[in-house]
Amino acid sequence: MSDTMTESVTDISDVHARPELLQVAETVARDKSIERDEVLEAMEQAIEKAGRSKYGHEHDIRARIDRTSGAISLARYVEVVETAEEIENEITQVDLAKAQRKKPDVKPGEFLVDELPPIDFGRIAAQTAKQVIVQKVREAERSRQYDEYKDRVGEIVNGIVKRIEYGNIVVDLGRAEAMLRRDESIPREHANNGDRVRAYIVDVREETRGPQIFLSRTHPDFMAKLFAQEVPEIYDGIIEIKSVARDPGSRAKIAVMSHDSSLDPVGPCIGMRGSRVQAVVGELQGEKIDIIQWSPDPATFIVNALAPAEVAKVVLDEEKNKIEVVVPDDQLSLAIGRRGQNVRLASQLSGWDIDILTEEEESERRTKEFQDRSQNFVEALDVDDVIAHLLVTEGFSSIEEVAFVPVDDLTEIEGFDEEVATELRARARNYLAVRDEELEKRRLELGVDNDMANVAGVTASMMVTLGEAGLKTRDDLADLAGDELIEILGEGSLSLDKANDIIMAARAHWFADEVSADEVSADEVSADEVSADEETADEETADEESADEEAAAEAGAETESTDGEPAAASEPSSENAEPADEEKPVQE
C-alpha cells in the first residue's frame, strides 16, 4: 500500500527536478560519515514541518524527495475509515461513504492524497527547516559514533587535541570526538591545540547531548595496554600481566608472570638496555615503573611488591586479609616510601592490607602480648609466672583454649604431668563458668532480650557490650551494618566477614516471616480449592441420588400399571416392590 501511496504522490504533485538537493545531501553525508538517506530524511522532515506551519499543524502533511532527481512532492493525507462512528479526528480521517465520492475504488485503511502546491520558504520557515536538518543530522552522527565505539571500550586510541574546555580536553579521533577529563589526565601534563594524544577508552555512553566517548590516561589498564603494544611476549600471551597499581605521573608497579617456565617474565618487559620500559615511561610523562614477578604465594608476592625494600619477616592473617611486614630499622622509610607511596602501591597490587613494622617495634609488641597473656593466665588460673609463661610459649592465647584442649596436648608441655593438666583444665572451666554467670547477670540487668542469644556467633560478652551500647533486641542487632558492629565491639574483635555473618543471622527471622506468610497463603489457596472440589463432589452425589430416586419411582409406577392397579402418587413402598420383583420372571 505504501508503494501505491508513493506513486500517487508523485503523480499528483508538482514535480521539479532539484539535483542540487542530492549534491548537498551527499556532501553532508560524506562530511559527517553518515548515510545519504539519513540526510534526505532529515530534509523531508524539515519540509513537512514547514508545510504544517503553513497549512495547519493538525493536518497529516507528508513530503518526499525523489532519490534520483531530487524532486520535492508535498501532499495531505486523509485516512479512510469504515463508518462515521469510527472517526477520531475529522481533519485527518473521513468515512468510507464520503471518500468514495472522490475515489470510488477506495477501501478502509487507505489514504486519500491531496496534492499541495510547493512551499515558498520564507526567512522563518527556512530557519526552522535548517534547525530540523541540523538536529537530525547531529542525532544520526551521534548514533553512528556510538555504534562504532561501543565495542571498543578497553582499547587505546590516538587523536589530536581539538580544544580545551575548563581543563577538559576534547580529542578529535577522526570520525568522532572524545572527552579526556581533567581528573583522567596525568598531573602536571599540559596539552595544546593540535597535539597528538594517546589514551585509553574507559567508557562509551549513548547521550542525547555532550560527549559520548570518554578517555583516560590514568587508568591502570592504560599502562597494561601500552606494555602489550611494546612487548610481543605479552601480546602473544606468553607473559601475562596479573595486576597494575599506579600513582599517575609519579610511580607505578606492574606484576607479571610467564606461562613458559624457561622464560623470565621481567626481562622481556624491560627490553634491551631498558628500551621497552622506557618507551612506556616516555608516554606516561616520566612515571617510574617497578616490574615485579608475580607469585601465587601471597607472602612471596608481597615481599617482591615492596622492593626495593628488604623484608625480614612476614605474618599473614588470611581471615582479616591483612599482612604484617617486619623490616630492618634502616629499611623502614624505603619500605613505606614517600608519603606512603611504596606500601600503598604494594597494597593495591596485591589486594592485601599491609602493616609495616620495624624489628624493634615488632619485638616490643610481641613482648607486650606475651606479658598480657601471661598475666591473664596468672589471674584466671591462679598459677605462678612459670606455668603461665610455658602456656604462652606453647601457643595458648586464651582461657577457652586451656579449658577445652585435650589433656594429652597439655601433658606434652615440658614439666606438665596428667595431674597438672587436669587441674589446669578444671580451673579454666571454673573460671569460664563464673565469668559466664556474671555476664548473664549483667545481661539481665541491662535488659538484653533472650532471643539475641539464639543468633549464631553472638557470645555472652558481646551481648553485654551491645546492651551497654543500647542494643537490646535481635532487631536492634539486625539493623546494624558490619562495620558498625565492629566499631561497637572494638577494633580487632571481629573480622568484617564474621560481623556480616552475624548481622545476616540476626536478620534470618525477617525472611522466615515472609516465607511463613507465603506458605500460609499457599495453604489457604489449597484449602479453598479442596473445599470447592468437595462442594462440587457433594453436588454431583446429590444429583446422582435424585436421578436414582426418580428412576426407581418410574420403575415402581410401571410395575403397578402392569398388575392392573392404579399408579401410586408417591414413592412405592417395600410391600409393593416385593410382588413386582416376584412377578418379573412370570412376565418374562
Between CA 463 and CA 128 the distance in angstroms is 74
Coil/strand/helix, residue 106 = coil
pTM of the predicted model as reported, rounded to 2 decimal places: 0.58
Between CA 34 and CA 19 the distance in angstroms is 20
* Confidence bin at 280 (pLDDT 50/70/90): very high
**Position with higher pLDDT, 527 vs 396:** 396
Residue with cell 583444665: 425
CB 111 within 8 A of CB 79: yes
Q: How far is CA 253 from CA 41, 186, 242, 291, in A?
A: 54, 16, 11, 6
Q: Reply yes or no on whether the pLDDT at 9 is more than 70.
A: no
Quote the pLDDT of residue 523: 53
Quote the pLDDT of residue 568: 38
Q: Reply yes or no on whether the pLDDT at 549 is more than 70.
A: no
Q: Reply yes or no on whether the pLDDT at 576 is more than 60.
A: no
Residue with cell 617497578: 290
Quote the pLDDT of residue 531: 54
* Confidence bin at 585 (pLDDT 50/70/90): very low
User: Mean pLDDT across the stretch 423-447?
Assistant: 84
Quote the pLDDT of residue 12: 35
Q: How far is CA 97 from CA 4, 15, 60, 91, 107, in A?
A: 21, 31, 21, 16, 10
| pLDDT tens digits along 325-372 | 888 888 888 888 888 899 999 999 998 899 888 888 888 888 888 888
**Position with higher pLDDT, 75 vs 120:** 75
**Position with higher pLDDT, 269 vs 581:** 269
Contacts of 18 (CB under 8 A, 6+ apart): 65, 69, 70, 71, 72
DSSP characters over 336-399: H-GGGHHHHHHHHHH-SEEEEEEHHHHHHHHHHHHHHHHHHHHHHHT--HHHHHHHHHTT--SH
* Confidence bin at 10 (pLDDT 50/70/90): very low
Q: Reply yes or no on whether the pLDDT at 17 is more than 50.
A: yes
* 95-99, 267-271, 363-367, 579-583: range with lowest mean pLDDT: 579-583
CB 33 within 8 A of CB 84: no
C-alpha of 89 from chain center: 47
Between CA 248 and CA 291 the distance in angstroms is 16
Between CA 92 and CA 58 the distance in angstroms is 8
Instruction: Supply φ then ψ for residue 152, to 5 degrees.
Output: -110, 15
Question: Helix/strand/coil (H, E, C) string of 439-489?
Answer: HHHHHHHHCCCHHHHHCCCCCHHHHHHHHHCCCCCHHHHHCCCHHHHHHHH
Quote the pLDDT of residue 551: 52
Q: Reply yes or no on whether the pLDDT at 578 is more than 70.
A: no
H helices within 62-174, ranges in order? 96-102, 123-149
Q: Which of 445, 447, 449 is nearest to 474 (CA)?
A: 449
* Confidence bin at 482 (pLDDT 50/70/90): confident
Q: Reply yes or no on whether the pLDDT at 582 is more than 50.
A: no
**Position with higher pLDDT, 420 vs 526:** 420
Find the helix packing angle between 19-32 and 123-149, rounded to 10°: 40
| pLDDT tens digits along 139-179 | 777 888 888 888 889 899 999 999 998 889 999 988 788 99
Between CA 63 and CA 32 the distance in angstroms is 24
**Position with higher pLDDT, 241 vs 359:** 241
Percent pLDDT > 90 in the chain is: 17
* Confidence bin at 254 (pLDDT 50/70/90): very high
Average pLDDT, the chain: 79
Q: How far is CA 25 from CA 35, 175, 200, in A?
A: 9, 18, 34
| Residues facing residue 293 across a β-bridge | 256
